[in-house]
Amino acid sequence: MHAGFDVTVVPAGTPADEVLAMDPDGIFLSNGPGDPSAVTPAIDAVANLIGKKPIFGICLGHQILSIVLGAKTYKMPFGHHGANHPVRDILTGKVEITSQNHSFAVDTDTLPAHLEMTHVNLNDGTVEGLKHRTEPIFSIQYHPEAAPGPLDSTHLFSRFGALLRK
């Protein structure tokens, strides 16, 4: 699936000023392994990107954004792995069948007032999506690019495109 974006990939530790020097229309934070709190170079870079460009994060990118924006993450007892995880999009009411592979989640009780939960896991109630109330920032925990639904979550790329056009 091509969503209409031209993408430049940079390493996770790329400083924000180097990213901004490329003059991107927006920032996409991709997935990756492990404990999000251990990815301090990415946390530092993302902290310096807030308010400068629209941002969309998935999986580890979602967790890093959450940390930068004031929430906490925790290690799940079993994690979410594989396909067929039902997630409700609170904004539309639709249920999406998702593909997931993570062992950390965002702690609902630590969400600051400027973050709104947009997606919830229907199996265990964990946070599956967030958006910033005033900045053009949103994120999801699962993998829309994996298309397990098969196209249940492709609208998220259109949503990001709309933010870029504003």
**How crowded is residue 97: how many other Cβ atoms within 10 Å of its Cβ?**
16
DSSP 8-state secondary structure symbol assigned to residue 154: T
Which of 62, 119, 132, 143 is catalytic? The answer is 143
Return the pLDDT at 32: 85
Distance CA 128, CA 142 (A): 7
Question: What's the total number of domains in the chain?
Answer: 1
> Comparing 31-45, 62-76, 115-129, which segment has the lowest mean pLDDT?
31-45
Q: Does residue 60 belong to any structural domain of this protein?
A: yes
Is residue 143 part of the annotated active site? The answer reads: yes
Q: In the predicted model, is pLDDT for residue 148 greater than 70?
A: no
Predicted pLDDT of residue 158: 72
pLDDT band at 152 (very low <50, low <70, confident <90, very high): low
Instruction: Write down the pLDDT at residue 160.
Output: 79
In a domain, 8, yes or no: no
Range 99-109 average pLDDT: 95
Whether 83 is covered by a domain: the verdict is yes
β-strands 95-106, 73-89 pairing: antiparallel
Provide, rounded to the nearest whole percent, the portion of the chain with pLDDT above 70.
92
Question: Could you tell me which residues are beta bridge partners of residue 86?
Answer: 97
Query: Do strands 27-29 and 95-106 pair parallel, antiparallel, or not at all (unpaired)?
Result: unpaired
In a domain, 89, yes or no: yes
pLDDT in tens, 33-47: 889 999 999 999 999
Classify residue 2: in a domain, yes or no.
Answer: no
Tokens, residue 146: 């994996």
Do 50 and 69 form a contact (C-beta atoms < 8 A)?
Answer: yes
Give the DSSP H/E element, type plus range, for residue 44: helix 40-47
Q: Which of 116, 135, 145, 155 is catalytic?
A: 145
Report for 29-33, 79-83, 109-113: range of highest mean pLDDT: 109-113
What is the rounded radius of gyration, in angstroms, for the C-alpha atoms of the chain? Answer: 15
Determine whether 59 is an active site residue: yes
CA distances from 82 to 3, 49, 57, 108 (A): 23, 31, 19, 23
Residue from 59, 85, 102, 128 carrying the catalytic annotation: 59
Residue 153 belongs to a domain: yes
Task: Evaluate if residue 70 carries a pLDDT over 70.
Answer: yes
Residue 77: CATH number of its domain: 3.40.50.880
Inform me whether the pLDDT recorded for 149 exceeds 90.
no
pLDDT at 128 over 70: yes
Burial class (CB in 10 A: 0-12, 13-18, 19+), 48: middle
The structure's pTM equals 0.90
Q: Is residue 35 part of a domain?
A: yes
Inside any domain, residue 85:
yes
Range of the domain at 135: 16-165
5 band by pLDDT with thresholds 50, 70 and 90: confident
